[in-house]
Amino acid sequence: MNTLRFPLVVACLAVLLGCVTIAQAAELPRVRLVATGGTISNRTGSRLTAGELVATIPDVQRVARTEFEQFANVSSTEMTLDQWLALSRRLNELFAKDAELGGLVVTSGTDTLEELAYFLHLTVRDDRPVVVVGSMRNPSTVGFEGAANLLEAFRVAADPEARGKGVLVVLNDEINSAREATKTDALRLQTFQSRPAGVLGVVDADRVVFYRSTLKRHTSRSEFDVSTIVALPRVDVLTTYQGASGDLIKAAVELGAKGIVVAGAGAGSTTTAQDEAIASAADNGAIVVVTTRTGSGRVAAPPRRERSAPIAGEDLQPVKARVLLMLALTRTSDPAEIQRMFTQY
């Protein structure tokens, strides 16, 4: 009799365990992948789709209920500013229409990932996590790390502690703020770093660990609303070097640049010729922001602002100063207001 009952008991236990597993899965947060392309998709002969990318992620069903959509499938340098605006609108739309959505993961090519991530950091107006992810090796390469990066991105997007921390960049087991994350090496996996600011956290085997938050304004506290922006103004990036003339600054303004970011030497030094061109640009209504070409450090605003003086770019990398200046110019051309934005963001 006991022998006959044993299979029935096992079957009942299996059913109960199955019910528990289904219930647990239903409680997992929903996380949507929005794929834009990049190396992470670029296998030999074709590009992986959003669905194919999700299929590569090991055991992702243990951390989130996955969804996906294909926004684009191009290299990051082929993304246009109009696509940036459209992508930000789409992410805002997903959050606005779905209160139960836990978070978003966005794939990007790594070459300009830091620029896209910072743009989203300033324009996605929700506290829920947006995680930007990519890979340094393509899917046809031995040692492709994209699946591992995607799993970690989903883990971070599903983690309640990620809320309110702005847009996050997750690669190589590390979490960086979109504001500070910078590509520091052309080939190595550990390329994205935040230099003096340090990582926000790490993704370890047992759990996601956060060490800090960024205090600058972002996402839900941002004043930049992409729903009202028709197009982003032209802003060019130039650099300082020994003997640099001011001709390129003048030419950029003549060709229609509304703003210019100058990557200055040291704490923002520029040549005498560039100084004269910067003053001329200001007289012609262009806004000039001076940053540093050193890779880290801060360019501070002078105690008193002269009319033709450039905006101090604080500690933003030149390409990120360009992102902020483009958005700032959609709201104002007042240098004092733009300086405030560079101080707050």
> Given a cut of 90, is residue 15 above it in pLDDT?
no
Q: Is the pLDDT of residue 234 over 70?
A: yes
Asked if 189 and 269 sit in the same domain, the reply is no
39 is known as an active-site residue: yes
DSSP 123-144: H---SS-EEEE--SS-TTSTT-
127-164 confidence digits (pLDDT tens): 999 999 999 999 999 999 999 999 999 999 999 999 99
To the nearest whole number, what is the mean pLDDT of the chain? 94
Q: What is the pLDDT of residues 326-344, one digit of tens each?
A: 999 999 999 999 999 999 9
Rounded to whole angstroms, the maximal C-alpha distance in the chain is 99
Domain assignment of residue 21, yes or no? no
Q: Are residues 124 and 91 in contact, defined by beta-carbon separation less than 8 angstroms?
A: yes
Residues 184, 154: one domain? yes
Tell me the pLDDT band of 306, cut-offs 50, 70 and 90. confident
Residue 308: the pLDDT is 79
Shared domain for 208 and 99, answered yes or no, is yes
The verdict on 190 and 242 lying in the same domain is: no
**Is residue 66's pLDDT more than 90?**
yes
**Domain limits for position 143:** 27-221
Q: Is residue 90 part of a domain?
A: yes
d(CA 267, CA 298): 7
- DSSP assignments along 72-118, one per residue: EEE-GGG--HHHHHHHHHHHHHHHHH-TTEEEEEEE--SSSHHHHHH
Indicate whether 186 belongs to any domain: yes
Separation CA 43–CA 203 (nearest Å) = 26
Percentage, residues of the chain above pLDDT 90: 90
pLDDT, position 5: 56
pLDDT in tens, 250-264: 999 999 999 999 999
The one-character DSSP state at 308 is T
**90 and 182 part of one domain:** yes
DSSP lists the bridge partners of residue 54 as none
| Residue 11, domain member (yes or no) | no
Whether residue 4 has pLDDT greater than 90: no
Domain boundary among 174, 190, 221: 221
- What pLDDT sits at residue 16? 42
19: confidence class by pLDDT, cuts 50, 70, 90: very low
- Same structural domain for residues 205 and 95? yes
Q: Quick check: helix, strand or coil at residue 205?
A: coil
Is 49 domain-assigned? yes
Angle CA(143)–CA(319)–CA(202) in degrees, nearest 5?
A: 45
One domain, residues 216 and 93: yes
* Lowest mean pLDDT across 6-20, 90-104, 231-245: 6-20
The values of phi and psi at residue 70, to 5°, are -100, 110
Are 270 and 184 contained in the same domain? Answer: no
Number of domains in the chain: 2
**Pair (56, 102) in one structural domain:** yes
Task: Please identify, among 187, 221, 255, the residue that sits at the C-terminal boundary of a domain.
Answer: 221
Q: How far is CA 145 from CA 57, 60, 189, in A?
A: 11, 15, 9
**pLDDT value of residue 276:** 97
Higher-pLDDT residue of 9, 69: 69
Here the CATH number for the domain that contains residue 285 is 3.40.50.40
Given the residues 39, 66, 110, 214, the one annotated as active site: 39
The owner of tokens 């009952």 is 5
Per-residue pLDDT of 182-192, as tens digits, reads: 999 999 999 99
Number of other residues whose CB lies within 10 A of the CB of residue 77: 9
Same-domain pairing of 129 and 278: no
pTM exceeds 0.85: yes
DSSP codes of every residue in 1-28: -HHHHHHHHHHHHHHHHHHHHHHHHHHS
pLDDT for 17: 41
Residue that is last in its domain, among 164, 197, 221: 221
| Residue 98 pLDDT level (bands cut at 50, 70, 90) | very high
CATH code at position 179? 3.40.50.1170
Alpha carbon distances (Å) from 339 to 269, 276, 300, 330, 336: 18, 20, 10, 14, 5
Mean pLDDT, residues 79-92: 98
Reading phi first (left if > 0) and then psi (alpha if -120 to 50, else beta), residue 243 is in left
Please tell me the least confidently modeled range out of 1-5, 216-220, 323-327.
Answer: 1-5
CA 255 to CA 41: how far, in whole Å?
Answer: 36
